A and B are shown apart, each in its own frame.
Chain A
């Protein structure tokens, strides 16, 4: 796998919907989500993350290292063959206090897979921990303090191994993070580098309620059971704008790589094309504008970068009904930030 992502990113995704419902509100009878104060449409962060997951599931066939942890059962394609990649020779280190360093450094009788290196003791992740734990209990010629430090290694290792393993196998854990419980009480949390905010429509939207009727009877015995009414909520047209953030230091922690990043951009560009349904209508990604900082911590405030992207309605007083009713202008990026337009 390629290197972890080394630059901070911000991105603006513009997507539109025509005669569909981009994100229903469970509190509002599945009508499109709307900001009650301004009338702007909203789609939640989790709604977009769901689509990224589904896209990656579809493209990578749910095989390690691109498995998807939080899945929709609706994908009935073949996902039986699973190949979890075991952790190879990675080492888990714990810090050793100065007064113990000499003793542990010179100790000779470590069981297999445990040792001293670079001023810390390590546990090789592929070893059988139960066996190693017993071996540690039987160690001789070592002080109680040093032994306690070795035991601590196993306590720490449980959550750490689970985290590493989850990050390694699962694209969504690496990207968005996960809250985990590992067997018993120990909890671990993976915070993913990719963070999304709610998307909001450029102009207020109008939710239309379309009435429909079923014209066929369901049961032979009740041939008159026709014409059952149903309703469908649609937005005639809405252009939505989503903001996202990618943190390089967190990418390092989860191993979110350059390849993963490319896949993520692909997902943002293409995810709506694989999410067709009766409810969604026509949805499409229209623009993906990426700000790549030269450094890990970033070179400009995110809010200033987002301000560079302005979207304006150009159809006057008539309500917008297509992407052509808008213009998108992108200003000059400040020094240290490069601008990439994927669509």
Chain B
């Protein structure tokens, strides 16, 4: 745990989509460890390290808002023949439209507590990775702009030394929420029981998949 970091993140909106409600998207009440990892990776990541989320502090009340948008129904599909023969590859939005609602979180703020583990022997100086991460955060640098679940909900971030006092008191059980995806095992999801104690969710508990 000597390589732990704390990062304060905030933004106007967030959408941590529940996998069971992803057509008309409904957000989890709180950030998932997987989304938190994505934020850290947007700032600094290398194949030599793997971010592990320890705790998530929830600093703002959980509030929702509903947004419905016109969306494209299908994905881009290309194949060799389209490329070689110059067939039109485009989508007409009018013919391929879906209106989908999203239930998004409003005005969120969290502190992510995390550390990284080394994945191999190459490039394995933890002090280096930690220093680069800290320098980037303090200068406001990032590889790409981190986001809360979807790219239209950008994240502001700052280095955090002391976690502000909790706004939540007591115990709140959010049920099973997504922990992360295992990319080495055909993207299989794993879940954990998210229990918030005085505003803090410990992500290190038992994981089920």
In the bound complex, residues from chain A placing their C-beta under 8 Å from that of B99 are: 26
A162: nearest chain-B partner, CB-CB: B78
Residue among A36, A161, A193, A200 making CB contact with B65, cutoff 8 Å: A36
In the bound complex, residues from chain A placing their C-beta under 8 Å from that of B91 are: 69-71
Q: How far is the CB of A171 from chain B (nearest CB, A)?
A: 12
A129: nearest chain-B partner, CB-CB: B80
Bound CA span A84–B140, Å: 40
Chain A interface residue number, banded: 35 or more
Q: How far is the CB of A19 from chain B (nearest CB, A)?
A: 23
Q: Using A26-B69, A72-B93, A247-B144 as known contacts, say yes or no to A197 and B12 having CB atoms under 8 A apart.
A: yes
In the bound complex, residues from chain B placing their C-beta under 8 Å from that of A84 are: 83, 86, 89
Q: How far is the CB of A11 from chain B (nearest CB, A)?
A: 12
Are A245 and B78 in contact, CB atoms less than 8 angstroms apart?
no
Q: Using A25-B68, A26-B69, A195-B154 as known contacts, say yes or no to A297 and B142 having CB atoms under 8 A apart.
A: yes
Residue among A26, A169, A195, A303 making CB contact with B147, cutoff 8 Å: A195
Scan A70-113; emit 1 where CB is below 8 A from any B CB, else 0. 11111000000011101100000000000000000000000000
**B72 in the interface (beta carbon within 8 A):** yes
**A265 in the interface (beta carbon within 8 A):** no
Q: Using A26-B68, A197-B152 as known contacts, say yes or no to A178 and B76 having CB atoms under 8 A apart.
A: yes
Bound CA span A333–B56, Å: 33
Q: How far is the CB of A74 from chain B (nearest CB, A)?
A: 7
Q: Using A44-B69, A44-B152, A297-B142 as known contacts, say yes or no to A73 and B94 having CB atoms under 8 A apart.
A: yes
**A298 in the interface (beta carbon within 8 A):** yes
> Which stretch from A134-142, A179-187, A222-230 is at the chain B interface?
A179-187
Scan B146-160; emit 1 where CB is below 8 A from any A CB, else 0. 010001111011100
Chain B interface residue number, banded: 35 or more
Are A298 and B141 in contact, CB atoms less than 8 angstroms apart?
yes
Bound CA span A300–B142, Å: 10
Q: How far is the CB of B97 from chain A (nearest CB, A)?
A: 10
Residue among B70, B71, B140 making CB contact with A301, cutoff 8 Å: B140
Are B139 and A300 in contact, CB atoms less than 8 angstroms apart?
yes
Are A245 and B70 in contact, CB atoms less than 8 angstroms apart?
no
A23: nearest chain-B partner, CB-CB: B69
B104: nearest chain-A partner, CB-CB: A198
Residue among B78, B84, B101 making CB contact with A27, cutoff 8 Å: B101
Bound CA span A173–B90, Å: 11
Interface residues of chain B, those whose CB is within 8 Å of chain A, are 12-13, 65-72, 75-80, 83-84, 86, 88-95, 99, 101, 106, 136, 139-145, 147, 151-154, 156-158
12 more CB-based (< 8 A) A-B contacts, given A71-B91, A198-B13, A301-B157: A27-B101, A46-B71, A71-B92, A72-B92, A178-B76, A180-B75, A181-B76, A181-B77, A196-B152, A197-B153, A198-B152, A298-B139
Interface residues of chain A, those whose CB is within 8 Å of chain B, are 8, 25-27, 33, 35-37, 44-46, 50, 67-74, 82-84, 86-87, 129, 161-162, 165-166, 169, 173, 178-183, 187, 191, 193, 195-198, 200, 243, 245, 247, 249-250, 295, 297-304
Query: Could you jot down 24 A-B contacts, CB within 8 Å?
Result: A26-B99, A27-B68, A37-B65, A44-B69, A46-B70, A69-B90, A70-B90, A71-B90, A72-B92, A73-B92, A180-B75, A180-B78, A181-B76, A181-B77, A182-B78, A183-B80, A195-B152, A198-B12, A297-B141, A297-B142, A298-B140, A299-B140, A302-B145, A302-B154
